[in-house]
Each structure stands twice: as C-alpha cells, then as structure tokens.
Amino acid sequence: MKVKFIGHSGFFVDLPEMSLLFDYYKGELPEADPEKPLFIFVSHAHEDHYTGKIFTYLDRTEDVTFFLSDDIPESSVPERARGHVRFVGPDSAAAVSRLVEDPAAGRKRGRTILELHTYRSTDEGVAFLVDAGDVRIYHAGDLNDWHWDEEDQAFNREQREGYTAALRKIAYLVKKDSHVPDLAFIPLDSRLGEFFWMGMDEYMKAVGAAHVFPMHLFGDPSVIGRMRSMPCAAEYADRILGTGTAGEEFDL
C-alpha cells in the first residue's frame, strides 16, 4: 500500500482494490484511480478537517462514497453528492459490498469490501476504524487525551475518561478479531505542552499499530522526534513514521 501525508490530519491511502482519503481540508487533492472505488472519510465539521472541495472527486469518477460525521450539516453537501454520502454517528458500524465474479459459481456474488466502526471523539465527531480488504486503518480525527493547562482538573479528568473508554472499545474489537491496525493516524499536538505525548502513548499501549503516523501537529513537527525519544515510546518508536512534511509518501 501507499500512504501520503497531505497535511495536518489529511492522509491518502492507496490499496490494490480501493483508495481512501481521510480528513482532507487543504492542498492539492491526490489523484485517485477512477477504476477503483474511492472512500472519503471526514471525522467532524471543524474547518481543519472538512471542506466541500472533496465533492469535486465526482467530476472524476462516480464510484465515490463519502462517510461524513453526523455533526456535518447536510446543507453543506451539494445536491449531486447526496446519493454518495453516508452520515455516521459515534459508536456505529457500516459496510460496503460489491458484486464480484465467483468462478466456482459461474456468476457474481456480493462481497463486503469495506467495514467501518466509529467511536465518539473527546472533541467533536468521530474516530474511524476501517477494514479495507485485508488492511485495517485507524484514524483518530480529534479523539485524543486533550489535557490543557488552562482547563480545570474536572475537564481534563473527563477527557482522560472519555479517551480511555473509546480505546477500551477499540481494543476489544482488535483483540476479538486478532487484527491490530496496520496503520494508525494519531494526534501529536504541541499545543498540549508537556502533555503532548499522552494520547499517542495511551493508544499504542492499549491498541497498537504496525505503523503509526503523527498528525494534527499544528505546524510543529519537532514533536515527532520528541515522541520517538520519550522513554515510554521505546517499544514502538521505530513504528512512528514521517517527519511531518506535507506531501511525504510511504510505500509499505
């Protein structure tokens, strides 16, 4: 598979059978193969995660499905795109099937090509756990342990509890399926000061991933190197990929 970091929380994942776009909001839209299904995910309505520009993919191909968090106003979706949109709320599931040739039966059969589970964010919207063929992808959106110095203890405790509850649900499904995510896109936000590392570390300890990509950097990619050097990250530092440079691509 190929992974492209578009910027901020935006990623493009190209697989042999399909392509997936997560939380694009600015920059050049990645080229998608019109011969493959394209799935576009938007975790919430914040302007650094969502733009109507994503609907221009319909100028290139009709095989596009948009999974939009249900906090996004339906009025922001162009009329021509509405038949391609599925709104999803927290703690829900969805699936996409296609008719494929079954040589043994001599006819086409329905096959599930994508499954989706969502989790309630500790900010707005949802996080996504996507099974795309044999590949499992986690995109956190704004689900994180948001520990802010300027907030009181009750707020930060509520954030930690909400994050822990979501991770417990994700870990349960991962353990049940015996399939740790192949890719995980996780916030690593320097605005949290000395607490910038907590959300990623909690996720990796509770769930894990073969490859983890820091995102939501807010212009400070130095947190990636700082994260790799944290003693708590010793067990997974070599799985943290990227430099935080927009346009960076990975062949995995």
Decide if 228 contacts 196 (C-beta within 8 A): no
Q: Tell me, letter by letter, the H, E, C secondary structure of 42-54.
A: ECCCCCCCCCHHH
Residue from 156, 43, 54, 146 nearest 89 by CA: 43
Say what percent of the chain tops pLDDT 70: 100
Helix and strand tally (H, E) in the chain?
A: 3, 13
Average per-residue pLDDT in the chain? Answer: 96
Which residue type does 102 have?
D
pTM: 0.96
pLDDT of res. 47: 96
> What is the average per-residue pLDDT within 181-189?
98
User: What domains are there in the chain, each with its CATH number?
Assistant: 2-251 (3.60.15.10)
Neighbours of 153 (CB within 10 A): 7
Residue from 179, 203, 242 nearest 10 by CA: 242
pLDDT (tens digit, 9 = 90+) per residue, 73-114?
Answer: 999 999 999 999 999 999 999 999 988 777 777 778 888 999
Which residue type does 211 have?
H
> What is the average per-residue pLDDT within 104-133?
92
* pLDDT > 80? residue 122: yes
Pairing of strands 19-22, 10-14: antiparallel
> What is the average per-residue pLDDT within 134-161?
96
pLDDT (tens digit, 9 = 90+) per residue, 198-251?
Answer: 999 999 999 999 999 999 999 899 999 999 999 999 999 999 999 999 999 999
pLDDT of res. 108: 80
> What is the average per-residue pLDDT within 183-209?
97
Residue from 179, 249, 187 nearest 208 by CA: 179
Instruction: Write down the residue that tokens 């956190």 correspond to.
Output: 140
